[in-house]
Structure 1
Amino acid sequence: MRISSFFYTLGQGIKNLGRNKWYTLASIATIGACLFLFGIFYSIVTNFQNVVKTAEEGVSITVFFNEGVSEEQILAVKSELEKNRPEVREIEYVSADVAWEGFKEEYLGEYADGFTENPLADSANLQIYLKDVSMQPALVTYIESIDVVREVNRSEVTANTLSGLNILIAYVSAGIIIILLLVSIFLISNTVTMGIAVRKDEINIMKYIGATDFFVRAPFVVEGILIGMIGSAIPLVIIYFVYTHAIEYVGTKFTMLSSILNFLPVEVIYNKLLPISLAIGIGIGFLGSFATVKKHLHV
């Protein structure tokens, strides 16, 4: 494309925004509202996923061993699991002495002084933390097949709940995104259709004097892209200030809640929200206008 054609196409696309200003404003407002809701939803979901991830990191499997199993044998099991089980994130070896000290501190307090020997002499264990708690059943089955293992304790209810929450979040997110996309594309399609109707005589003249298909269609596609770009930029600015002030407000007014919910910094949220929102806005602008031009503008 020549530079002159590029600037003509861009200029006509901008003019189209003004020719159908009420439809343009309606499309921008609707896309902006949709992407604002998407941005708010994304921020909430991302923070919720962070809470779930933090909770998952605290879920562990405790492996106890048969009486008389040496520390070397336990460490050998630890090494084997670290090498051959990709779902394992971290394994901690807890000796019998450490287990006894922890038990005394948590349950006995000053009454522990009456014990001269360690009653938990065979309580050495492995604390296993997973990368994904949904893989817990498979790992537990494998560990239970090891000869020296006596018992495996796991947080099955917690693991199932966290896995279920992750699946629910994924389905809800996908459903909302699809609805937002369909609504936005529909509105852009209506705006471009009106633009074609308004410029019908001008388009016929351009066709009569030999204008190419691209030369006629491109301004309408540019119009859709500009609508999508503007419609995505506005809510991004609003969400930035809303999210920042919301974190400050919750941190100041609800200190107990803020200690439980560790909100992600706005920069972390926008590392993905910014490109995703712009891509969605520009993408639906392009798709909506391109499909409409192809359907209604026969050149």
Structure 2
Amino acid sequence: MIKKVVIMKYNVFTYLVGEGFSNVFKNKKQAFTSFGTMCLIMIFFGICFIIVGNFNSFIKQVEAQQGIQAFIKKDATEEEIEQVKNDINEIEEINTIEFVSQEQALQSVKERVFKERADLLEGYNVSIFKTSYKITLTDITKTAEVKEKLLNIENIVKVTNTDEVIEVLIKVARGIKIGSYVIIIALIAISIFIISNTIKLTVYARRKEISIMKYVGATNSFIRWPFIVEGIILGLSSGIISLAIVSGLYMLLANNVPFVNFLANLNLKLLAFNEMFNFIVIIYLVLGMGIGVIGSTKSMKKYLKV
């Protein structure tokens, strides 16, 4: 008895899936148009996702590199310099702290400013430089608060950083995130609309067959499922093709030497695609299936009284 039930359910399942595939091929022109449009939308979605992901990575890289320089008064003793370090470490937003001696400060100026003409600094006494602590933060949005706390520490006479760079980065990051979210939401809505219209045409073409099925006692779910399967097929197939295209485009960008060198000059690097791949695959699969199910359900609610 159980075996018969299992066989019957399996037969029903294969019939419904088969009907879903059949629906796609019965309306080839509209299905192909929907598939192509969905691919373009999913590609744009992938590009937006990658841009946001990389920009978030850039912000983290800048957070790790961006330093606040806290300068110590010249006549501070070793004990006082050590106490300054202890006081800095008590600030919650501090990520790392690095001591910069007068000799190191001079060498840094030679390497970063004068480069090939470092000989111009020969003969200069290191005493023209102050000892300092180079500090990085866990969150660069807290820069102003940390600067104020540092200036309240005894023996710190000056605190410097590139506030404008930080503010611009934060504003651009927010703008990109908000813009990407708006675009993604709009693309999802358009995708649902496209799937819905495709299913609607299939439903209309099979309206007589559906009426007969209802007349002989077919359940609502039995009628719905082939159309849901059709929506899932369109959503998943466009998602898989789009993933392959986005992967290829990203690999081309990651292997573009001028672009990579440009980022390297800014001390930035792209995320490796394998760092995003698993998450992108999940997003594409869920999005593809979700859009397919929602689009087909929306279409049937409006055009099928089942």
TM-score, normalised via structure 2 length: 0.83
- Cα distance, 1:67 vs structure 2: 4.9
Aligned equivalent of 2:279: 272
Q: Does 1:26 align with 2:42?
A: no
Q: How many residue pairs align between the two structures?
A: 294
Q: Does 1:285 align with 2:285?
A: no
Aligned equivalent of 2:3: none
Taking the aligned partners of 1:109 and 1:156, their CA distance within structure 2 comes to 28
Aligned pair partner of 1:232 in 226, 230, 239: 239
Q: CA 1:187 to 1:109, structure 2 compared with 1: closer, same or farther past 3 Å?
A: closer
Equivalent residue runs for 1:122-271 within 5 Å: 123-248=130-255, 250-251=256-257, 256-257=261-262, 259-260=264-265, 262-271=269-278
- In structure 2, runs of 5+ residues without a counterpart are 1-5
Aligned equivalent of 1:119: 127
Taking the aligned partners of 1:74 and 1:59, their CA distance within structure 2 comes to 22
Q: CA 1:91 to 1:194, structure 2 compared with 1: closer, same or farther past 3 Å?
A: same
- Cα distance, 1:164 vs structure 2: 1.0
Indicate the larger mover: 141-150 or 15-24.
Answer: 141-150
TM-score, normalised via structure 1 length: 0.85
RMSD across aligned C-alpha pairs, in angstroms?
2.8
Contact 1:16 1:195 (8 Å CA) reproduced:
yes
What amino acid is the match of 1:14? F
3-state SS of the aligned residue for 1:292?
helix
Note the alpha carbon deviations across 1:145-171, whole angstroms, 9 max, x for none.
223322211211111011111111101
Aligned pair partner of 1:58 in 32, 49, 65: 65
Taking the aligned partners of 2:120 and 2:29, their CA distance within structure 1 comes to 79
Identity of aligned residues (%): 31
- Cα distance, 1:256 vs structure 2: 4.7
Contact 1:133 1:162 (8 Å CA) reproduced:
no
- Cα distance, 1:136 vs structure 2: 0.8
Aligned pair partner of 1:95 in 84, 91, 101: 101
- Cα distance, 1:51 vs structure 2: 4.0
Taking the aligned partners of 1:104 and 1:233, their CA distance within structure 2 comes to 53
Taking the aligned partners of 2:29 and 2:110, their CA distance within structure 1 comes to 73
